Structure 1
Amino acid sequence: MHDTSTVEAFLPTRDTMLCISLAARPRNIGTRFHNFLYRQLDLDYLYTAFTTDDVTAAIAGVRALGIRGCSVSMPFKEAVIPLLDAIDDSAAAIESVNTIVNDHGTLIGYNTDYLAIRALLASNQIPASTSVVVRGSGGMAKAVTAALRDSGFSDVTIVARNETTGAALARSYGYHWAGTSDQQPGLLINATPLGMEHQPGLPFTSEQVAAARWVLDVIAMPAKTALLDLADRHGATTIPGTEVIALQAAEQFIRYTGIEPPAELIAAASRFSREEPGQ
């Protein structure tokens, strides 16, 4: 069992490597995840969260101050691209950056959401011949859709009520768009907020869930959404958002530190990140 008490006891020095996040509404999940791993692995790193109304100046600060890594959330994921020196294929695939690595003053952008989805499709051994319905047309839906394309999936339908964004997303990756769908594919992916604690509901019909062999829900809180609960009861293989968020954060950690933590430590960091302080 991992000792979480040491996470609170670290004192940074002038040699401490700093990593940060930039978000419109900073949260503690990433902060707790990264700092947990730093302390468990005895790394002289510190991670903290910021918001800004001047992303250009913020990224200039990352470069000038030698900040090692920067996690990027909405609304900055596309705005940071022209401020970087290079972008990795993972970011180029969706024209969106959620991770910046400062390599001695050279800023490189990545998208670890995309990397996490690709890894989960592979680790769950979902054949590329499987039919897929993706619900949503926002940033995470874009990461999901690009990961499906680059993993060889061809039978994909994007379901989104917003025809402008939904049709554009489907067209960009060579897929189909529908405003609604009763299609019963092998893989269902929810990339919308529907199912979060403040937005309860099912993104798919009960018939669709009953017919699916795999169900992926990108929502991490709650860890067990109504969609995943229903899919479990129908015997589908479920892939929770907690795995998505843990994998994408682990990919960030690896790029910041050069260290790949063991799977059990990543799982412990993920659990710790979703706890309220003091639990």
Structure 2
Amino acid sequence: MFTVTGTTSTYCVLGNPVAHSMSPLMHNTAFRHLGMDAIYLPFEVDDLPAAVSGLKALNIKGASVTHPFKEAIIELVDEIDDTAKKIGAINTLVFTKGGILGTNTDWVGLVKTIETLLPISDHTFVVLGAGGAARAAVFGIISHGGKAIVANRSEKKGRLLADEFDMPFVSLSKLENVQAACLINATPVGMYPQEDDTPVPTQILTRYKAVVDVIYNPVQTKLLKEAQSQGCMTASGFEMFVHQGIEQFRIWTDTTPPAKEMRDVVYQRLMNK
């Protein structure tokens, strides 16, 4: 049985809400499997600047950053690496004696997930959303030779993202006029507990070969079920979540992550809900 002591290294996830997060289960499983004296905790945050100050004061070793703080956290770190700077969002914090380093592993997870369905190079992708996950998706697609079209409920925010990456923007109401290889939902629409929601009408899904949803809880969102009914290949955010978490663990601990154990424990929990 693992016992927390005064020398136990602490890691955490910052978000609001975080009750649904599987990150504590995944990372704590990895720590226990490797016999590491470390623990990972969920922190629901109302005041982000105060929370970051508190983490520094408490000697936290590393943190995940989730919705809705992936962009706001940029102003609160001491250093941001080139990848996170280009994406414009941070999902991983590393605490050192020199301060806080911000990086991003979301794009790694998403690229690996997309590539289970089709190659990114020379294909066009419609990315729904304009937040941190959408930014990671656009970056990953462009960096691997693909083309992206941004679609978002807020035209202003959507155009800002599209212009920043020199990509076209389309309003959600005009999606029926767009043809692409793959649709990526990078919004929280359809996430637990609002599983009956979906970001787009069923009839437009026939315009895509593949559909990817960044949501991992539930594993099969309404969007993915409807896409499958229309003959689309699909991939769940579950794979993206695990891959980005594996990369986080590697960054924090400089240790080879127990990938199979991390994947299996999250999948089992999601399937047994």
Q: What TM-score results when the alignment is normalised by the length of structure 1?
A: 0.84
Matched, 1:244 2:209: no
Does 2:110 correspond to 1:117? yes
The question of whether the paired residues in 2 share the 8 Å contact of 1:33 and 1:273 is answered with no
- Offset from partner CA, 1:103-154 (integer Å, 9 cap, x none): 3443211112222223333454424211221222233222212222222223
What fraction of aligned residue pairs are identical, expressed as a percent?
32
User: Any conservation in 2 of the 1:134–1:191 contact (CA below 8 Å)?
Assistant: yes
Matches within 5 A, 1:1-279: 9-27=1-19, 28-154=21-147, 156-179=148-171, 180-182=174-176, 183-196=178-191, 197-198=193-194, 200-272=196-268, 274=270
Residues 127 and 83 of structure 1: is their aligned pair in 2 closer, same or farther, counting only changes over 3 Å?
closer
Aligned residue in 2 for 1:3: none
Q: Counterparts of 2:135 and 2:180 in 1: how far apart (Å)?
A: 19
Alignment match, 1:6: none
User: 1:42: Cα distance to partner?
Assistant: 1.5
Equivalent pair of 1:32/1:272 in contact (CA under 8 Å): no
Deviations 1:26-80 (A, max 9, x none): 3242111111111122111111122344433433343343311012234433333
Question: 1:127/1:258 Cα in 2 relative to 1: closer, same or farther (>3 Å)?
Answer: same
Helix, strand or coil for the counterpart of 1:93?
helix
Separation in structure 1 between the aligned mates of residue 170 and residue 179 of structure 2, nearest angstrom: 14
Task: Quote the offset at 1:195 in angstroms.
Answer: 2.8
Q: Is the CA contact 1:66–1:104 (under 8 Å) kept in the aligned structure 2? A: no
Instruction: Give the letter for the 2:158 counterpart.
Output: G
Unmatched runs of 5 consecutive residues or more in structure 2? none
Shift of 1:206: 3.8
- Give me the CA root mean square deviation: 2.5
Counterpart amino acid of 1:60?
S
Q: Which blocks of at least 5 consecutive residues in structure 1 are unaligned?
A: 1-8
